[in-house]
Amino acid sequence: MKAVRVHTVGGPEALVYEDVPDPKIEAAQVVIRIEATGVNFAEVYARRGSTPQPLPIAIGNEAAGTIVEVAQDVSDLKPGDRVAFYGTPGAYAELIAVPAARVVKLPDGISTKLAAASLLQGMTAHYLAINTYPLQPGDICLVHAAAGGVGLLLCQMAKQRGARVIGTVSTDEKANAAREAGAEEVILYTKVPFDEEVKRLTDGRGVDVVYDSVGKTTFLQGFNCLRPRGYMVLYGQSSGAIDPIDVGLLNRGSFFVTRPTLVHHGVERKELEWRSGEIFDWIASDQLQVRIHSEFPLRDAAKAQAALEQRETIGKVLLIP
C-alpha cells in the first residue's frame, strides 16, 4: 500500500510518499481502508521533530473509512462498517490497523469526509467549551485562530452555550468565516493589538477565558485580556512552544492556567462515544457546520501541510488516498 512517512525531520519536503507493507491485524484490532484523512498541526509538530520519536515516523492521527478486516476477538464491528478514529499514528495511508476500542461507527448522514473533518477537532472544541472552562450564558471568551479547524467549531459551540465570542484572525476572509460561526466581534491581529481591542470591546472588563492554540506569539499578551480569576487555556502551539513563565504573573489577576490535550479527554470508551455522538448528532441536525477548506491527494501531503503552516486555510484540510 501507499503511505506517507518521515525519514528525516524537517520541512514539508520531509514527507515521503512511498510503498510500505500492508498492516497485519492483531488481537482487538480492525483494519480500515481509509477514505479521508484529517490534517492537523500535531502532524506538523511530528514532522518538524518537535515531538521526538523513532524514525521513520508514521504520520497522521485521524481518519475515516470502511472496515475491511476484524480480529476474531472483536464482536461489535464487522467488515463494511463505516467508521472513524483518532489517536492511532499512521493515518496518512491507504490502510491502517486500529484498536477496535478507539473506533466509532458513523451514523447515517455522516460521510467519511465529514467524519475525518470533524472528529478530532470537534472533540477538542467539545472538551474546551464543556469541560476545561464550562461556558455559561453571559460568559465572554476569546478564541484565537477563530477561522481554523477547531476555531470554527469552538465558536459555534460557545455560541450555542450562550457565550459572547470574540475571535482573532489574520485576514478579512477569515473574519467573515468566524462571524458566520458565531463570533460577535472579530479582531484582525495583523492590524491592531488584540489585547487592547479586547479591553475596548469589553469596556475594560476582560474575558472570562482565552482559548489559545497559537502559543508563542499570543500567550503572554493574552493575560492582558483576562478578567480577575480568568482562565488561560493553552491547547496548541502553531507559532511555536511558549517560553517558560514565572507563575508570579498569575498574581496580576489570580489567573488560572491549563494546558489540556485530547489524549486525556477521551480515554474511557464511554467518554469517546459521548463526545463523538454529540458532535455527529449536531452535524446531522445542522446545529454544527463543518467547513472543509480543501482536499489533497495523499501523495500531496507536503502541499497540504504547507497550506496549514502558512495560514492559508479556513476550516479543515483533508487528504484523500
Report the CATH number that the domain containing residue 224 is assigned in CATH: 3.40.50.720
250 in the same domain as 181: yes
243 in the same domain as 280: no
274 in the same domain as 200: no
pLDDT confidence of residue 51: 79
Residue 130 lies in a domain: no
Q: Do 296 and 304 touch, CB atoms closer than 8 A?
A: yes
210 in the same domain as 280: no
216 in the same domain as 245: yes
Report the CATH number that the domain containing residue 86 is assigned in CATH: 3.90.180.10
202 in the same domain as 154: yes
Encode pLDDT of 204-227 as tens digits: 999 999 999 999 999 999 999 999
101 in the same domain as 18: yes
251 in the same domain as 190: yes
Residue 114 lies in a domain: yes
Q: What is the pTM of this model?
A: 0.94
Instruction: State how far the Cα of 2 lies from the Cα of 9, in Å rounded to an integer.
Output: 20
Residue 124 lies in a domain: no
253 in the same domain as 165: yes
177 in the same domain as 99: no
| Closest by CA position to 299, among listed 62, 43, 57, 1 | 1
Q: Do 46 and 71 touch, CB atoms closer than 8 A?
A: no
Residue 125 lies in a domain: no
- Give the three cell numbers for residue 200: 475596548
Domain, as residue range, for 101: 2-119+266-320
Structurally, the chain folds into a number of domains equal to 2
List beta partners, residue 84: 64, 104
pLDDT confidence of residue 316: 95
Last residue of a domain, one of 222, 239, 259: 259
309 in the same domain as 254: no
pLDDT confidence of residue 7: 97
167 in the same domain as 274: no
Residue 222 lies in a domain: yes
Last residue of a domain, one of 240, 259, 278: 259
pLDDT confidence of residue 72: 96
Mean pLDDT, consecutive 10-residue stretches, the chain (321 aa), reads 97 97 98 97 91 92 98 97 97 98 96 97 97 98 96 98 98 96 96 97 98 96 98 94 93 97 92 97 96 96 94 92 96
132, 220, 261, 265 from 249: Cα distances, Å:
21, 9, 23, 28
Residue 27 lies in a domain: yes
Q: Do 132 and 152 touch, CB atoms closer than 8 A?
A: no
Residue 126 lies in a domain: no
Residue 128 lies in a domain: no
Last residue of a domain, one of 241, 259, 277: 259
Instruction: State how far the Cα of 299 lies from the Cα of 37, in Å rounded to an integer.
Output: 12
| Closest by CA position to 123, among listed 275, 233, 280, 277 | 275
